[in-house]
């Protein structure tokens, strides 16, 4: 497995692969890899001839009071995992490679970027869209793989790819969960034992909503109330949002239908966790 540090080298590698008739897959990550990331790598391996994973803790997607400084950085373990999965290239640039001195160009997806996580994390999706566009321009992948857990991120990136007419297919992979339902996240490692127990309320709330939908409830208001009632059983957990939205626009719906995104975000201690499902 080759570790590449510069955009130029990554582009050269990708172009050589394409010239040799190989399709290129990209799995963008911030490292601190877990089984959710590995599922993206496996999906990439199945549908692409060669696969690059990027590891870059992107400073522009963190707010001033967020966890950029303490975000887990586990580069050696990450590389060992990626190598075991047969990844061809790890792209691990430094900040200067992605944001050269004086960098002033950003990708701003207006509207969408202010909804869901973008509402409570101003500037977050501007940072995400910018870094992912830069990764796409550098790696020129045929396909790029993202987790459904970050469903609002997926909506923002779909819009970015459509608006910039980037020649890349976004592949969205299912949420990977712990046996008790907690969605995997690099931030789960911040949780104390007690917080880890409390964190189960996110998937429990979603499960309660799914059960109501299965028995015929379609009112978004009623379903949100069901989720909020489940959250109230863990009063230490602070709801950020509970919402039913159109997945493309991230605007609230009144009636849920097939394809509606039902999403939650909550603070467990100081750790902000998210989870969702898409109505079948």
The residues carrying an active-site annotation are 37
Place of tokens 């779909």: 158
Phi and psi angles of residue 70, each rounded to the nearest 5 degrees, phi first: -100, 5
Question: Nearest approach, Cβ of 154 to ligand PAF (angstroms)?
Answer: 9
Q: Which CB atom, from 36 or from 182, has the smaller least distance to ligand PAF?
A: 36
The sheet with strand 89-91 has its strands ordered as 2-4, 89-91, 50-55, 24-29, 143-147, 169-173
Residue range at the interface with ligand PAF (CB under 6 A); choices 2-10, 25-33, 192-200, 247-255? 25-33
Alpha carbon 229 to its chain's center: 27
Counting other chains too, the contacts that 40-46 makes at CB distance below 8 Å and 24 or more residues apart are: 40/145, 40/146, 40/147, 40/173, 41/82, 41/85, 41/87, 41/145, 42/85, 43/145, 43/171, 43/173, 44/143, 44/145, 44/171, 45/85, 45/86, 45/87
Question: Nearest approach, Cβ of 150 to ligand PAF (angstroms)?
Answer: 5
Residue 265 contacts residue 274 (beta carbons within 8 Å): yes
Q: For residue 123, with 0-12 CB atoms within 10 Å meaning exposed, 13-18 middle and 19 or more buried, which class applies? A: middle
Q: Which CB atom, from 29 or from 212, has the smaller least distance to ligand PAF?
A: 29
Length of the chain (residues) = 280
Taking the C-alpha atoms of residue 91 and residue 17, their distance in angstroms, rounded to an integer, is 15
Q: Which of 30, 109, 223, 237 binds ligand PAF (CB under 6 A)?
A: 30
Q: Does 31 bind ligand PAF (CB under 6 A)?
A: no
Question: Nearest approach, Cβ of 30 to ligand PAF (angstroms)?
Answer: 4
Q: Which CB atom, from 107 or from 206, has the smaller least distance to ligand PAF?
A: 107
Q: Say how many residues touch ligand PAF, by CB under 6 A.
A: 10
Question: Nearest approach, Cβ of 56 to ligand PAF (angstroms)?
Answer: 6
Taking the C-alpha atoms of residue 254 and residue 188, their distance in angstroms, rounded to an integer, is 32
Considering only residues 42 through 81, tell me which ones interact with ligand PAF, judged by CB under 6 A.
58, 61
Question: Nearest approach, Cβ of 34 to ligand PAF (angstroms)?
Answer: 11
Q: Does 28 bind ligand PAF (CB under 6 A)?
A: yes
Taking the C-alpha atoms of residue 33 and residue 193, their distance in angstroms, rounded to an integer, is 20
Q: Which CB atom, from 132 or from 202, has the smaller least distance to ligand PAF?
A: 132
Phi and psi angles of residue 267, each rounded to the nearest 5 degrees, phi first: -95, 125
Site map 127..156 versus ligand PAF, x via CB under 6 A: -x--xx-----------------x--x---
Please tell me what DSSP assigns to residue 33: -
Question: Nearest approach, Cβ of 137 to ligand PAF (angstroms)?
Answer: 14
Site map 100..129 versus ligand PAF, x via CB under 6 A: ----------------------------x-
Site map 217..246 versus ligand PAF, x via CB under 6 A: ------------------------------
**Contacts with ligand PAF, residue ranges (CB under 6 A):** 28-30, 58, 61, 128, 131-132, 150, 153
């Amino acid at each position: 497995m080759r570790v590449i540090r510069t955009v130029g080298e990554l582009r050269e590698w990708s172009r050589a692969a394409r010239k040799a008739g190989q399709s290129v897959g990209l799995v963008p990550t911030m490292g601190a890899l877990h089984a959710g990331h590995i599922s993206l790598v496996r999906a990439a391996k199945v549908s692409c001839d060669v696969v690059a994973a990027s590891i870059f803790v992107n400073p522009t997607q963190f707010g001033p009071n967020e966890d950029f400084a303490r975000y887990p950085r586990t580069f050696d373990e990450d590389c060992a995992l990626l190598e075991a999965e047969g990844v061809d290239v790890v792209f691990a640039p430094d900040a200067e490679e992605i944001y050269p001195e004086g960098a002033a160009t950003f990708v701003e997806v207006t509207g969408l970027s202010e909804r869901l996580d973008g509402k409570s994390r101003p500037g977050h999706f501007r940072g995400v869209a910018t870094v992912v566009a830069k990764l796409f321009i550098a790696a020129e992948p045929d396909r790029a793989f993202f987790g459904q857990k970050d469903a609002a991120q997926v909506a923002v990136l779909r819009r970015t790819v459509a608006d910039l007419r980037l020649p890349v297919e976004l592949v969205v992979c299912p949420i990977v969960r712990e046996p008790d339902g907690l969605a995997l996240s690099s931030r789960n490692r911040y949780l104390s034992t007690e917080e880890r127990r409390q964190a189960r309320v996110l998937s429990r709330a979603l499960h309660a909503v799914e059960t109501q939908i299965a028995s015929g409830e379609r009112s978004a208001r009623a379903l949100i109330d069901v989720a909020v009632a489940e959250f109230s059983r863990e009063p230490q957990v602070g709801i950020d949002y509970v919402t039913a939205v159109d997945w493309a626009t991230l605007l609230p719906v009144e009636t849920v239908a097939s394809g509606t995104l039902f999403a939650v975000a909550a603070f467990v201690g100081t750790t902000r966790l998210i989870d969702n499902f898409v109505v079948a």
